Amino acid sequence: TLKIDGKYLYEVENPDFKKILLGDYLTKIKEISKKDAVCSICGEKKEEVFTTSLIYRFYTLDKECYITSGFKKKNAWKNFPVCVDCFLKIDYGKKYVENNLKFKFYRKEYYLIPKLILNTPEALEEINEILSMEAGKLTLSKERKATLTDDKDEILELLKDYKDVVSFYFLFLKGGGKADSDKILLLIEDVLPSRIHKIFDVKTKIDELFGQDYNFGRLVNFLNEFDKTLLEVVDKIFRGGNVDFRTLIQIFNRKIRDEFVNGNNFSFSVMDALMNVRFLEELGILNTEVKTMEETRFEKIYQKVGRSLNTPAKRGIFLLGALTQMLLNIQGKERGSTPFFKNLKGLKMNEEDIKGLLPKVINKLMEYNKFDPGKKELAEEISKNLLSQEKFSLSIDGINFYFASGMALYKEVADMVYQNEEQNQTN
């Protein structure tokens, strides 16, 4: 991109000066040209069109296999024929995008590009004003605004209330617009304002349900090492589709298990995972089966965990996790250590391990004289759930995810079991 006295070539007014500059500049950038051909941008027949890969490097002419019309480089102009006037507009447009439409997404960057759906130019003009207006960003920053990413200048909340006369492209590039390293990581097309509105509605619901602020950082915490999966999930969030629940649980469990084994406070990661699951469920993109279950006094906490907690075995495992955490708290207070911890096998328990764990927990609570009526009632509910399902039909990751979820939410389970603080002996 060339600038003379602070102006782009497209903005230079002196026709003679502009012609000299253009002649030299275009000679350098034209790779393959064609006389008397139609420009793919304006649709008009021009004296000359050409093609170039200097705008973005993800459009390349280096390999002939990417060239249409017989894979011959001399015909490469057919891939993207552009006239001089349109090229200058594109060149200027690229800079506009770089300066006004680029936002951060944790360690990545994306471009938010508006597109007209209906023939209403004023709609696009309004959108561009919002996207590029620093005052708009400052106004938002003065108030507490809802955000989905870690970018303080994120303006998605501004766009959610627009009518569906425009849509947006989310373009994730590797290389940050550098001419020698552009690579498309993800292109999400035709995202409507109504979809953005729905995403924020779901975010608000999750915020209220968990009493914490939900954003995509909770997904990135798990998927940062799984770039392809992260981008696939982001794509589904904005475009719709199905996210594989088992794949997510496997990835979530990897981090939870690592923190558990290393003695870190894994409950924060469990809460992140649960918020992610509920967020994706509410968006309708997580492939969990909805089943009608018998209502119990624990229904409120079951609803918080989500629709995936849809079998007696899952609910029994979840409650067993809560009861086990109560025991660990008591043991830690009584002994100053938690030797019972080894029975959890580093959160790699199978079905038989779970079935054998309940009597061990009960016996240990009785040893400490802490098997009070509340814990007895909880143990009975666990036993009923586990015995009502002959086979759990759960993976190791599934079993331990629900168990860890119960451990993280043990306080809320205890609140449902005990009527007052005097009865509550869980800490």
pLDDT at 14 over 70: no
CB count within 10 Å of CB 73 equals: 13
pLDDT at 139 over 80: no
- Predicted local confidence at residue 341, as pLDDT: 94
CA proximity to 222, closest of 397, 352, 344, 342: 397
pLDDT at 235 over 60: yes
Cβ-based neighbours of 291, under 8 Å, separated by 6 or more: 310, 311
pLDDT at 361 over 50: yes
Tokens representing 418?
Answer: 């005990």
- Predicted local confidence at residue 117, as pLDDT: 84
Residue % of the chain over a pLDDT of 70: 79
Residue with the larger pLDDT of the pair 23 and 12: 23
Tokens representing 350?
Answer: 């199978």
- Predicted local confidence at residue 28, as pLDDT: 65
**Average pLDDT of the segment spanning 9-16:** 58
Average pLDDT, the chain: 85
CA distance 193 to 32: 40
pLDDT in tens, 100-120: 889 999 989 999 988 888 777
- Predicted local confidence at residue 123, as pLDDT: 78
CA proximity to 25, closest of 58, 54, 57: 54
pLDDT band at 385 (very low <50, low <70, confident <90, very high): very high
- Predicted local confidence at residue 404, as pLDDT: 98
pLDDT in tens, 187-224: 999 999 999 999 999 999 999 999 999 999 999 999 99
CA distance 30 to 53: 9
- Predicted local confidence at residue 369, as pLDDT: 95
CB count within 10 Å of CB 243 equals: 21
Please report, for residues 54, 55, 398, the alpha-carbon distance to residue 30 in angstroms, rounded to integers and kept in the order given.
9, 12, 57
CA distance 367 to 387: 25
**Average pLDDT of the segment spanning 399-416:** 97
The DSSP H or E segment spanning 183 is strand 183-191
Coil vs helix vs strand at 243: strand
**Average pLDDT of the segment spanning 57-65:** 54
pLDDT at 179 over 50: no
pLDDT at 232 over 60: yes
